[in-house]
Structure formats: C-alpha cells, structure tokens
Amino acid sequence: MRKIQSLNGIWQWHSESASHDAVYTGEVPGTVISHMLQNKLIEDPYWRSNEYAVRELMANNYLYERNFTVSGEDLDFSCAELICDGIDTIASISINSRLVAETRDMHRTYRFAVKEFLQEGENRIEVFFHSPLDFVRKEDEGNDIFYASTGCIHGNAALRKAHYMFGWDWGPQLPDMGIFRNIAIEYFSEAKIQDVQIRQEHGSSGSAGLKFEVKIKQLSSYENRQEQRQTWFTETEITDPEGGLVSRTVRNSREWQYEETIPEPRLWWPNGLGEHPLYRVSIRLLDEAETCHDTYECRIGLRTVTVSTDKNEYGNEFAITVNGIKIFTMGANYIPEDNILTRVTKERTAQLIEDCAAANFNCLRVWGGGYYPDDYFYDKCDEEGILIWQDLMFGCNVYALNDTFEEDIVEETKDNVRRLRHHACLALWCGNNEMEWGWADEWARLKGHHPRYKADYTKIFEYILPRAIKACDDTTFFWPSSPSSGGAFDNPNATNRGDQHYWEVWHSGKPFTEYGDFSFCSEYGFQSFPHSKTIASFTLPEDRNIFSKVMESHQKNPAANGKILNYIADYFLYPKDTDSLAYISQILQLKAIEYGVEHWRRKRGQCMGSLYWQLNDCWPVASWASIDYYGRWKALHYGARRFYAPFTISIGEEKELSPHVSYYVHNDTREEQQCRADILLMDHEFRVLWEEAWEGGLPALSVLKCKETDFSPWTDDEALCSSVYSVFRLFRGEELLTERTVLFVKPKHFDYHAPAYDVSVTESEHSFDITVKASCFCQYVELYLKDFDVIFSDNFFDITSPEGVTVHVSKKDFKDHMSPDLVKENLVVRSVADSYGS
Ligand code: BMA
C-alpha cells in the first residue's frame, strides 16, 4: 500500500540576515525571489537595473518551515520517505528539530527515509537554505579555477545549480533559491514498484515489441518472513492513442521481464514527417487478493531514434534517424524560461513548444547550462513531435572532480535519465556544452589551468557519465559534447563530422555569406533587440537609448551592441529611432539565420541539421532569441516558419548580390510533392519584366535546383539594379504556398519607394483575416497590435503584388471580444522604407 502526503502549500519563511527578522508566507513550490515579490519586499528584479540589488539578497540564508499532521494510520506504514523533486540548492532539512539530510544538487530528485523523525499529530519541517552566492564567492577565492563563461559569477562550476542562474551572456545574475518542485512524504508497506524500463523492438514483421523490465521494492522486514511471502502480480495495460485497449496481461513475480506485442503499431514521427500518436502504459502491482499496492504510468511513442555517424563522401554524417529515416533536423537551442523558477508554468511552456511546432521545428536542444525541464515540457514535445537533444547540465566551465562531485553528478544523471528515458521525443543524450572544444582548441581563457582539470574532463564525460547513462538507458544515442567529433579531443569542431558550433558570423563579425559546409550545425546565432513593447516593460522613457545604463544592463554581451550596429551599417540605412533600430535588428537577425539554414538545406545529405542559437529568453533582454521573454515572436521566428517549412523554396546566389541566381525546391516530407513555381523579375509597381515557370515532381526527402538565371542584362544598368528584384513563388495547384524575394543590391542601396498601405480586416468563424496592400513593392512588412499580443499566420513578409498579402489571427489570441474594426484600429504596419529618415 502506498500513500502520498503532499507538503506543497503555504509555508512560513524568513531571512536569516540580521536586518530582516519578520516572518512571511509563501506558496511552495516557490522561490525566495518570488515570495519577496509577493510580500512586496522588493521591486521586480527585471525592472531597470534592479537585478544587482536583488542579487545581493541571494547572499543571505533563508529558512522555510511548515507544520503538517501525521495520523496513527500513517505511522502504521512500514516506511515513510520524504521526496523532494527539486530543491534549489544547498539546504539542511529537519523534521521536528532533528536534521534529516543536507542537499547540494538542484538537478537531483532526493528521497530520504523519515519514519523515525515523524510523530503522531503535529509535525514541523524546516528547510534552511544556505546562500548559493556566498558559496560560489568563497569557492572562487579558494580554488585555482579562473574561467567562467561571459557574464557568469566565478566559482559556479563547483555547485550543482543551474549555471545560467549566476548570469550568462543573455541572463541576469539572480541565483534564486527555494523548493521549486513538489515536496511530499510517501508512505508504503510491503512492496512498491521501484522502476520500470521499456525497450522497443521494431522488426520486419510489422508489429512492435515492448520489452518490460520491472523492479519491485519489497521491504526487508517483510521479505525475512519467508513463510508468509506473498506472490506479487503485475497487471500491464496498454491503450492506444484514442484510449482503446490494446492489451491487458497479468504476470507473476517470476516474470519481472516480459514482452508485449502491439500488432499494428502506429508509429510516432517528428513534426512535419507524420503523426505523433502516443500509447499509454499502466502497470498495477497486485497481491494475491488482487489488492492494488502501487501503480506506474507513462506514455510512449512507438518509434526508433538514433543518430547515424556513418561514413559519407565528406567524412562522417551526423543524421538523426527516426524509424530508419535520416531526417534533416530543424530547430533551435532551448534555455531555461526564467531565472525565477516559480514563473515557469505548464501553460507558458506549452505555448512555447506550440510556437516551435508552428514554426516547423522538429527538434530542440536542451542546452547544458540550464536545468532539466519539468515533465510537462517533455510531455508537450511528445505531443507536438519535437525531438529533444538533451545535454547533461554542464557547460562552459572547468570542473574539479572529487568524491562528492562525482556522487552528485552520477546520481543526478541517473535520476534524470530514469525520468526522461520513456519519452518519445528523446533523441540523444549529450555530455556538455562546448567543453571538449574549449580544451582541445585551448581557448585563451582556459589556458593556464592545471592539466588535472583536462584529465578530469575526460574522466567525467568519457567514462563516469556515459556509464551512468548506460546503467539506466542502453538504447538512446550518447554524444560526448557539443560540438564534438566523437570525443577524445579529436578536432571537436571539425566541419565534416559530428556537430558544429559556428560563431564566425556574429562573434567574429564575419558576413552571413561566410557560412561554410557543415555536417550538422547545432549552434550559430545572431542577436537582436526585442520589440519596443518588451523594451518598455523594463525601462522608463528616458532609458530607451541602447547605450543607457538600463539598456546596457539588459544586454549581457559587452560587444553585442557594437556588433549589431556594425551589421546594420553593412545592410541598412541608419534607423531613425530606438523603435526602428529594434525592428531593423530583428530583420538582420532573420536574414543572418535564414542565410545559414537555406545554405545547409541546399546541401541536404552533406548537412543534416540546423539548431540555431537560441529559441527563448529567461528575462527581457537583447539576445539571440527568436521568441522574447514575453512570448513575442521576433522576425526570426516568423522567418523560421518559412525557412523550416518541410516543403518550401529558397533562392541561392552564386555570391552575394550576384545576378546569377539559382532557385531551389526543398522537400523534407516523406511524400513526393507535385509543384509549380514561378520565377519573376519585377519593378516597384509590381510590373513583371521577365518570367519563367517550372513544374514537376519532387521526391521525398530531397532538394532540387529547378532553375538558374542570369539577370545581368538588367543589373548591369545601375539605376535598374537598385530598383528591380526577383520573386520566386511556389504553388500547389492554384494555391500560392510561399514566396521568396532577392535584391541585387544591399537594402541600404535599394531605391525603396515610400509605401501607402491599405488595410482591410474581415472575420471568419475562428480568425480575423487581415489583408495588407501597398502602393509599391515593400519588404519585411511587420504587423503588430498596439495593445494586444497575437501571433499572425505570417509576418515580416514582402509585398510583391497589388493583391497584397492576407494573414490570419486566431480569435483565441484575444481574451476579450474583438471586432474587425477594433483590430484595424489597433494595427500598426511598417516596412523597411519606414525605418529611416533622410
Ligand atoms: C554559445 C552558447 C552559450 C552562449 C552563446 C552566445 O556558445 O553555448 O554559451 O550564450 O554561445 O554567446
């Protein structure tokens, strides 16, 4: 028998610093910063430069406590365990004034035997949080490690707390603390299900085999009474995605390893490649009298996933392979959604993952400098078909291996591998972020460290952790680091094998045209400012200059503002104000990433993946994110919806601005596509100066160059060159699916005419339909609503015809009733020609 007593709910807490002795309340799960905010003790740390004062409050210790009642029946259970799903981080836990345990790893799920600490009636639990800031500062003074990532407080490597909480080149230094996940006491007697592992076998027979390995924990006092020993039974029930029964079988305790067959499996596919059906598995532990003692439940997708590193003509491919099919991986890197973990909610995460699916992602990399997301993150990825490249939580740091560190990292890894291994979305485990690369290439800031740390690296990531993973999951692919060529410091960022991080565009200031040929680009990126509405959320009007103290403190990469301005100088006219600067910076970001993705998709086969840096933000900031802290899509995210579409087109220039242009059709679906494409040369008034059409079939999982053209007869004329453009349109039947445009001069030298916009808004059952027409050709047309945050079906598009562009907004995006007139009144339309003054 098993019973869970939740200890979530209202706790009392107070600071242990001398100046603060008042006692407050706060809801658990919850964190110190969120409870300070609720009690109005601080202002929002994300407002202006509040971060720094709030950071110093993290140098104090805090005590959390509450009462709970234990009944006589509870004490009749043979065993009681305190389960902490997430404690952040250094804490001493006492029950009834007796120390139960000390914690020092936020990535772990802790279980402590507490029966001997409990008493019938009223009990008191206390969790004393020791300051993480104090810990890392002392650590930094006491060790010989001098490297920390840009913006990150030194000493953080020694503490198993998400590194980004100490700051990053996109995040604030706010190492909050608290009970951030459920806390409960589990009572049980006799036996319970301790572990269930399910391996899949997909043979040629067409059926899928599920191999179960069940571990039952029987209490030793019970086991010793041999004569009374029970026979235990497991009842395994499998239901299909609609809830229909697939099988229900009962096994006895001699059969803890058994196999079930699913006769007509419906396979799980990543987004864009098929459906994502999920089967439910439920196991009940029964005694001879058929009383249920425990239940285990999970959802699985029937699929195989691995990574092919087979040799190819360039070196070795790096291709995520699902159900035997090598896919082109498309997505981004995910960072934690907030520094204040109480603000991360199931709803917010669900929206973010839906936004990934809507932008045609099929993969996210959970980056190693954060923490392991909640179960609901992975559940949602299962549902949306988003594969997960799961880093272990190590990144950009020098780690010192010692006994306690080893124990922590092994246990936290096992905890999380066991928690996540059944998810359909789980594609691969990866040891860390950028550390093999750092050591192998002798990054300047790593030079001078004692060589034992490099040896520690090898022990941790090439021996200790792979073994810890294998002990719990022997089927999922393991990759030692990102980037890597397979380990052993063997040229980790080699371009023709393994995965690559490419930062020459952006960090080294190189032009977009420099993207080379890679096998799988798992990190590359380009910064932009968030929308003016987001800037307004953390600034006063007088702060809204990018070099102000406040704006600079919401830009964590010291060189970044200069870089943005430099790239603007290359492509665009000088923006007329901060609002326009933010808009243009987003267009540049879109262009930068699109350039890379389209290049790599054209090299499908040689390259098999793109994960740009980064999907999201953890606070309002200028960064590489495509969706900002408030969930607002930047231009890049709308661009991703176009350039990551499984069936789409791209335009490739021989070299930038060349009149020799090639037109490509991409098919990353599993079906052949019939299509038609128009290729046009046009002028400001949408007059067609030249045109050609192409029609044909495109095999599944392929790319085709359908046309090559030389526009020199037009571009040789200087005036024409800066006023004509080529448009490439893709149709299925009569339906226009998408289009792309290419200029023959940089936008700053293009002769944009001042457009007059004509907007009409109508409504249908579920959406508002907005048609934007313009008096002339215009580029990167942005739509936004002054007072509402909505997602448009398309945005930052070009207008290349008198008919304009029609986009849709779901009515669900509005909380209150809206009319087409109100939408129109609230709508702002702008394009590149509106971004500069003379
Ligand atoms: C990558 C990441 C992060 C960083 C980003 C931008 O290397 O792994 O460490 O935020 O670069 O600089």
Residue with tokens 């007088």: 542
Separation of 626 CA from ligand 1 center, angstroms?
15
The contacts of residue 280 (CB under 8 Å, 6+ apart) are 238, 239, 243, 297, 298, 299
Sequence-ordered list of residues with C-beta below 8 angstroms from that of 815, at least 6 positions apart, any chain: none
Q: Tokens representing 331?
A: 């997505």
Tell me the CA–centroid distance for residue 311 and ligand 1, in Å.
29
**CB atoms inside a 10 Å sphere around CB 614:** 21
Distance between Cα 525 and ligand 1 center (Å): 9
Of all atoms in ligand 1, which is nearest to the CA of residue 501?
A: 7
Q: Could you give the 3-state DSSP secondary structure of residue 209?
A: strand
Residues paired with residue 747 on neighbouring β-strands, in sequence order: none
Query: Residue 579: CB within 6 Å of ligand 1?
Result: no
Q: Which atom of ligand 1 is nearest to the CA of 367?
A: 8
Q: Which atom of ligand 1 is nearest to the CA of 557?
A: 12
Instruction: Report whether residue 168 contacts ligand 1, using a CB cutoff of 6 Å.
Output: yes
Residue with the nearest Cα to atom 10 of ligand 1? Answer: 169
The CATH number for 830's domain is 2.60.40.10
Please state the φ and ψ torsions of residue 677, each to the nearest 5 degrees. -135, 145
CA–centroid distance, 557 to ligand 1, in Å, is: 10
Shared domain check, 156 and 18 = yes
| CA 224, 225, 231, 236 torsion-angle sign | negative
Q: Whose alpha carbon is nearest atom 8 of ligand 1?
A: 433
Measure 624 CA to ligand 1 centroid, in angstroms: 9
Distance between alpha carbon 61 and the CA centroid of its chain, in Å? 32
In the reported structure, the alpha carbon of residue 147 is separated from the centroid of ligand 1 by a whole-number distance in angstroms of 15
- For residue 501 and ligand 1, the question of a CB distance below 6 A is answered with yes
Verify that 217 and 161 share a domain, yes or no: no
Whole-number Å distance between alpha carbons of 114 and 100 = 7
> Closest ligand 1 atom to the C-alpha of 368?
8
Q: Which of 212, 230, 199 is nearest to 283 (CA)?
A: 212
Report yes or no on 343 lying in a domain.
Answer: no
The pair of structure tokens assigned to 641 is 């919806």
Ligand 1 centre distance from Cα of residue 164 (Å) = 11
Question: What is the CA(794)–ligand 1 centre distance, in A?
Answer: 29
Residue 213 Cα, ligand 1 centroid: separation in angstroms? 39
- What type of residue is 587? I
The answer, yes or no, to whether any atom of ligand 1 lies below 6 A from the CB of 170, is yes
Contact between 158 and 8 under an 8 Å Cβ cutoff? The reply is no
Cβ of 613 closer than 6 Å to ligand 1, yes or no, is yes
**In testing the pocket of ligand 1, which one of 507, 614, 621, 626 has its CB within 8 Å of the most ligand atoms?**
614
Nearest CA to ligand 1 atom 9: 396
Atom of ligand 1 nearest to the CA of 170: 10
Residue nearest to atom 3 of ligand 1 (CA): 169
Does 169 sit in the ligand 1 pocket, CB within 6 Å? yes
Same domain, residue pair 39 and 85? yes
| Region for residue 442 given its phi and psi (left: phi exceeds 0; alpha: psi -120 to 50; beta: otherwise) | left
Going by C-beta distance under 8 Å and a sequence separation of 6 or more, which residues neighbour residue 148? 154, 155, 156, 157, 166, 396, 397
CA angle 401, 403, 406 (to 5 degrees): 60
Name the residue of 523, 527, 626 to mutate for ligand 1: max ligand atoms within 8 A of Cβ. Answer: 523
Q: Of 137, 158, 187, which residue is a domain's last?
A: 187
Please state, in angstroms and rounded to a whole number, the distance separating the CA atoms of residues 58 and 176. Answer: 6
**Does 246 map to a domain?**
yes
456 lines ligand 1 (CB under 6 A): no
Q: Is the CB of 396 under 6 A from ligand 1?
A: yes
Q: Same structural domain for residues 42 and 53?
A: yes
- Distance (Å) from CA 396 to ligand 1 centroid: 9
- Structure token pair of residue 557: 């990469």
Distance 487 CA to ligand 1 centre (A): 20
Residue 13 belongs to a domain: yes
**Whether 26 and 167 share a structural domain:** yes
The string over 119-131, giving b where at least 16 C-beta atoms fall within 10 Å of a residue's C-beta and e elsewhere, is eeeebebbbbbbb
By the 8 A CB rule, do 367 and 334 touch? yes
259 and 224 assigned to the same domain:
yes
**Ligand 1 within 6 A of CB of 391:** no
pLDDT score for 653: 87
Over the chain (838 residues), the average pLDDT of each successive run of 10 is 95 85 94 98 98 98 98 96 98 98 98 98 98 98 95 97 98 98 96 96 91 90 54 95 97 87 96 98 95 96 98 98 98 98 98 98 98 98 99 98 98 98 98 98 94 98 98 98 98 98 95 93 98 98 98 97 97 98 98 97 98 98 98 98 98 90 98 96 97 96 97 95 98 95 97 97 98 98 98 98 98 95 98 93
> What three-state secondary structure class fits 522?
strand
Radius of gyration of the chain (CA): 29
- Name the DSSP class of 490: S
Cis peptide before 342 (omega within 30 of 0): no
Q: Which of 300, 329, 356 corresponds to the end of one domain?
A: 300
> Is residue 355 lining ligand 1, measured as CB closer than 6 Å?
no
Token pair 């959970």 in the structure block, residue: 366
What is the C-alpha separation between 491 and 497, in angstroms, rounded? Answer: 10
> 705 φ, ψ to 5°?
-85, 115
**Cα 823 from Cα 786, distance rounded (Å):** 10
User: In angstroms, what CA-CA distances link 480 with 128, 311, 446, 559?
Assistant: 36, 19, 19, 30
pLDDT of residue 229: 64
Instruction: Please answer whether residues 483 and 522 qualify as being in contact, where contact means their C-beta atoms are separated by less than 8 angstroms.
Output: yes
Are 608 and 317 in contact, with CB atoms under 8 Å apart?
Answer: yes
Neighbours of 386 (CB within 10 A): 25
556 ligand 1 Cβ < 6 A: no
Torsion over CA: 567, 571, 574, 576 (sign) = negative
Assign 3-class secondary structure to 75-87. HHCCEEEEEECCE
**Atom 4 (ligand 1) nearest CA:** 169
Q: Is residue 708 part of a domain?
A: no
Q: Which of 613, 619, 626 for mutating ligand 1's site (highest number of atoms within 8 Å of CB)?
A: 613
> Among 164, 169, 391, 522, which is best to mutate for testing ligand 1, by the most ligand atoms less than 8 A from CB?
169
> Buried (b) or exposed (e) across 421-439, using 16+ Cβ within 10 A?
bbbbbbbbbbbbbbbbbbb
Token pair of 228 as six digits: 């009374």
* pLDDT computed for residue 204 by the predictor: 81
User: What is the rounded distance in angstroms from the CA atom of residue 591 to the CA atom of residue 17?
Assistant: 51
| Residues 6+ away with beta carbon under 8 Å from 772 | 757, 758, 759, 781, 783, 799, 804, 805, 806, 807, 829
Domain containing 73 — which CATH number? 2.60.120.260
Whose structure tokens read 């096998």? 519
466 in any annotated domain: no
Instruction: Kindly give the distance from the C-alpha atom of residue 150 to the centroid of ligand 1, in angstroms, as a whole number.
Output: 9
CA of 449 to the centre of ligand 1 (A): 21
Residue 66's Cβ-side half-sphere holds a number of Cα atoms within 13 Å equal to: 17
- Residue closest via CA to ligand 1's atom 12 equals 169
- Same domain? For 286 and 137 the reply is no
Chain position carrying tokens 């980056």: 367
Extended beta strands in 375-493, E state = 387-391, 426-430, 477-479
CA distance 181 to 158: 23
Distance 783 CA to ligand 1 centre (A): 30
Q: Encode burial over 18-33: b for 16+ CB neighbours within 10 A, e otherwise.
A: eeeeeebebebbbbbb
DSSP character for 464? I
76 and 220 in one domain?
no
Q: What's the token pair of residue 281? A: 């598995």
Is residue 806 domain-resident?
A: yes
Number of H helices and number of E strands within the chain? 19, 46
Please give the C-alpha separations between residue 74 and each of 118, 186, 644, in angstroms, as whole numbers: 10, 10, 55
Ligand 1 binding pocket includes 433 (Cβ within 6 Å): yes
Please tell me the distance between residue 643's alpha carbon and the centre of ligand 1 in angstroms. 23
Beta bridge partners of 333: 365
**Residue 541 φ then ψ, to 5°:** -50, -35
In testing the pocket of ligand 1, which one of 396, 441, 502 has its CB within 8 Å of the most ligand atoms? 396
- The distance in angstroms from the start CA to the end CA of the chain is 78
Q: How far is the CA of 503 from the centre of ligand 1 (A)?
A: 9
DSSP state letter for 123: E
Cα 617 to ligand 1 centre (Å): 13
Q: Closest Cα to residue 253, out of 193, 189, 186?
A: 193
The Cα–Cα gap between 823 and 809 comes to 10
Q: Distance, CA 532 to ligand 1 centroid (Å)?
A: 25
- Distance CA(151)–CA(552), nearest Å, equals 13
On whether both 59 and 176 belong to a single domain, the answer is yes
Distance from C-alpha of 264 to C-alpha of 247, rounded to nearest angstrom: 12
- In this structure, the answer to whether residues 9 and 147 fall within a common structural domain is yes
How far is the centre of ligand 1, averaged over its atoms, from the C-alpha of 535 (Å)?
22
Same domain? 89 vs 101: yes
- 157 shares its domain with 44: yes
Give the domain extent around 783.
752-838
Q: Is residue 545 part of a domain?
A: no
Residue 372 included in any domain: no
Structural domain ending residue among the three candidates 278, 300, 322: 300
Cα 581 to averaged position of ligand 1 atoms, centre (Å): 23
Q: What is the pLDDT of residue 227?
A: 44
Question: Considering its fold, how many domains does the chain have in total?
Answer: 3
Ligand 1 atom closest to Cα of 507? 12
